[in-house]
């Protein structure tokens, strides 16, 4: 009876939508015409009216193995009955250790140490703090400057918005952290429109980092943080050779390189991490989302031996890092993550993004020539369709296409500005990919 009670609350339209202030949403517009998802399985959601919605965004770039996967459901159910919570400050439980070892096997290079958080934003702020503290631990406490990139999205903490490069996420909230600078972004529709995979032009933009060094001096720079592929800014794919060049410059000057892989991690582009797909190993990787297949909040920061070991120099009884969250290494999240990694491995899902990449690429580029489409970008199982904005109403056209696709095409997409971004679960089959692009073609014609 209790289960029925909560089940009903979770699947029926609520009587009032007033109290919940929705994040990153046009609350008044949404509440006038809500889109409410009630259940999910595999590639599909169902909304509160019982309509089936094909998930072309893996939730919010996080449900990489699709929804309600049996192993994960079972592991979480079992864990809550066994150990609901355990502190991790000067105490712990087995699962965070088991999980960290498993994760360290997946990470590139010598990124063998894992710091747990609860979200991408927390992972980013943790990584930035650790990078600064690492230099201090090595006797270079003057290295505090952080370099981000225009159009970067690194979550919404004060650290993340400071290094981030999306004006709306910054301008409302004051000046942010001092001592931050930004590389230019690499989106260049003029030269690279309709690139398939990595765009040809733009490697020279990596030289911005040399300019930052010339301006600020390397001795003041702690870290550079970039997304291998910017996701939330509308899917910006790195130009050929760009990430390699950034790595070289960081090596030359002893700058910590952080890859924010909150989206590109866990199979999205055909390897455990983008670092491996691109053949570029950073010093720190930030992750979240796909680590638990989105079902329980969790994030992680992966750190090189050199960074970790720099903190282990004091007396054994000294706390090595004054940082952490009540829920770092939460047993429920660890259980979900372990079952998620098993699901990825059993179904060889990281390889799937590579296997499907060609089909995905043909499908998305078939939308070229539809009204207002000014660029199409893809890599792994990520794609974006950029539309010409309606005069005086930036974002409106893509938003209309998103709403049309949802109501008429039974398709969940994601919109930022005038970009429609796509990232289906890695279990997608060709028939799902076909349906995604059919529904989108309709939506693009309808919102012309
Ligand atoms: N970093 C990147 C690259 C992201 O894409 C996101 C979320 O989309 C974040 C950080 C923030 O993650 P969260 O929303 O879990 O805080």
| Tens of pLDDT, residues 336-380 | 999 999 999 999 999 999 999 999 999 999 999 999 999 999 999
Name the domain boundary from 300, 321, 346: 346
Cα–Cα distance, 417 to 442 (Å, whole number): 20
> Going along 109-243, which residue ranges are E strands?
113-117, 145-149, 180-183, 221-226
Same domain, 106 and 189: yes
Same domain, 265 and 241: yes
Same domain, 432 and 341: no
Of ligand 1's listed atoms, the one at least distance from the Cα of 299 is 15
Cα distance between the two ends of the chain: 49
User: Does 97 have pLDDT greater than 90?
Assistant: yes
pLDDT at 1: 85
Same domain, 35 and 149: no
Q: Which CA distances in Å does 256 have to 207, 226, 300? A: 16, 11, 17
Whether ligand 1 lies within 6 angstroms of the CB of 411 is answered as: no
Same domain, 29 and 146: no
Number of domains in the chain: 2
Q: What is the CATH number of the domain that holds 187?
A: 3.40.640.10
Whether ligand 1 lies within 6 angstroms of the CB of 303 is answered as: no
Q: How many residues does the chain have?
A: 448
Domain that holds residue 357: 2-65+348-446
CA 434 to chain centre: 25
Mind giving me the DSSP string for 378-399? Answer: EETTEEEEEEPPBTTBTTHHHH
pLDDT at 78: 98
Name the domain boundary from 296, 328, 346: 346
Sort residue 224 into left (φ over 0), alpha (ψ -120 to 50) or beta. Answer: beta
Cα–Cα distance, 342 to 346 (Å, whole number): 6
| Tens of pLDDT, residues 4-36 | 999 999 999 999 999 999 999 999 999 999 999
Same domain, 195 and 338: yes
Mind giving me the DSSP string for 43-79? Answer: TEEEETT--EEEESSHHHHT-TT-BS-HHHHHHHHHH
Whether ligand 1 lies within 6 angstroms of the CB of 155 is answered as: yes
Give the distance (Å) from ligand 1 centre to CA of residue 259. 12
Give the distance (Å) from ligand 1 centre to CA of residue 1. 38
Give the distance (Å) from ligand 1 centre to CA of residue 121. 6
Give the distance (Å) from ligand 1 centre to CA of residue 56. 18
Same domain, 232 and 84: yes
For the chain, the average pLDDT equals 97
Give the distance (Å) from ligand 1 centre to CA of residue 402. 21
User: Does 123 have pLDDT greater than 90?
Assistant: yes
| Tens of pLDDT, residues 262-272 | 999 999 999 99
Whether ligand 1 lies within 6 angstroms of the CB of 243 is answered as: no
Name the domain boundary from 318, 346, 374: 346
Nearest CA to ligand 1 atom 1: 154
**H-type alpha helices, 138-207:** 158-163, 167-171, 189-192
Same domain, 180 and 272: yes
- Parallel, antiparallel, or unpaired: how do β-strands 52-55 and 411-412 relate? parallel
Same domain, 337 and 387: no
Q: How many Cβ atoms sit within 10 Å of the Cβ of residue 305?
A: 12
Same domain, 319 and 331: yes
pTM of the model: 0.98
Q: What is the CATH number of the domain that holds 393?
A: 3.90.1150.10
Mean pLDDT of 377-384: 98
Pocket test for ligand 1, best of 125, 226, 227, 232 (most atoms within 8 A of CB): 232
Pocket test for ligand 1, best of 23, 60, 288, 419 (most atoms within 8 A of CB): 288
Same domain, 357 and 340: no
Cα–Cα distance, 144 to 164 (Å, whole number): 17
| Tens of pLDDT, residues 206-225 | 999 999 999 999 999 999 99
Whether ligand 1 lies within 6 angstroms of the CB of 153 is answered as: yes
Whether ligand 1 lies within 6 angstroms of the CB of 290 is answered as: no
Q: Position of tokens 């890092």? A: 321
Same domain, 289 and 422: no
């Amino acid at each position: 009876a209790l289960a029925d009670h909560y089940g009903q609350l979770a699947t029926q339209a609520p009587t009032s939508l007033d109290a919940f202030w929705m994040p990153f949403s046009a609350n008044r517009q949404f509440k006038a015409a809500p889109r409410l998802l009630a259940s999910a399985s595999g590639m599909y959601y169902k909304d509160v009216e019982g309509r089936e919605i094909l998930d072309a965004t893996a939730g919010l770039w996080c449900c990489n193995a699709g929804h309600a996967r049996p192993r994960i459901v079972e592991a979480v159910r079992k864990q809550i009955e066994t150990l609901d919570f355990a502190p991790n400050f000067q105490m712990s439980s087995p699962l965070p250790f088991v999980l960290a070892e498993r994760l360290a096997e997946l990470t590139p290079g010598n990124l063998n140490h894992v710091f747990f958080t609860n979200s991408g934003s927390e992972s980013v702020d943790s990584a930035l703090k650790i990078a600064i503290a690492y230099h201090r631990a090595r006797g270079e406490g003057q290295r505090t400057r952080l370099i981000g990139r225009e159009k970067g999205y690194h979550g919404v903490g004060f650290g993340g918005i400071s290094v981030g490069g999306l004006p709306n996420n910054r301008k409302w909230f004051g000046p942010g952290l001092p001592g931050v600078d930004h590389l230019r972004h690499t989106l260049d529709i003029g030269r690279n429109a309709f690139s398939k995979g990595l765009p040809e032009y733009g490697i020279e933009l990596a030289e911005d980092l040399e300019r930052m060094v010339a301006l600020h001096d390397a001795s003041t720079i702690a870290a550079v943080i970039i997304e291998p592929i910017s996701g939330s800014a509308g899917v910006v794919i790195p130009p050929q050779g760009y990430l390699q060049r950034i790595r070289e410059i960081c090596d030359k000057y002893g700058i910590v390189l952080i890859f924010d892989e909150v989206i590109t991690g866990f199979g999205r582009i055909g390897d455990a991490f983008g670092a491996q797909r691109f053949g570029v190993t950073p010093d720190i990787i930030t992750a979240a989302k796909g680590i638990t297949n989105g079902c329980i909040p969790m994030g992680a920061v992966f750190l090189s031996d050199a960074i970790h070991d720099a903190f282990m120099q004091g007396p054994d009884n000294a706390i090595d890092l004054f940082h952490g969250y009540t829920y770092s290494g939460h047993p429920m999240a660890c259980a979900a993550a372990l079952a998620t990694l098993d699901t990825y491995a059993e179904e060889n899902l990281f390889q799937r993004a590579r296997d499907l990449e060609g089909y995905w690429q043909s499908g998305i580029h078939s939308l070229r020539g539809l009204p207002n489409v000014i660029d199409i970008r893809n890599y792994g199982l990520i794609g974006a369709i950029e539309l010409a904005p309606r005069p005086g109403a930036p974002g409106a056209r893509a938003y209309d296409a998103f709403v049309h696709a949802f109501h008429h095409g039974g398709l969940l997409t994601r919109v930022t500005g005038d970009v429609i971004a796509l990232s289906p679960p890695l279990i997608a089959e060709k028939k799902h990919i076909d349906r995604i692009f059919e529904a989108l073609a309709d939506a693009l014609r309808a919102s012309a």
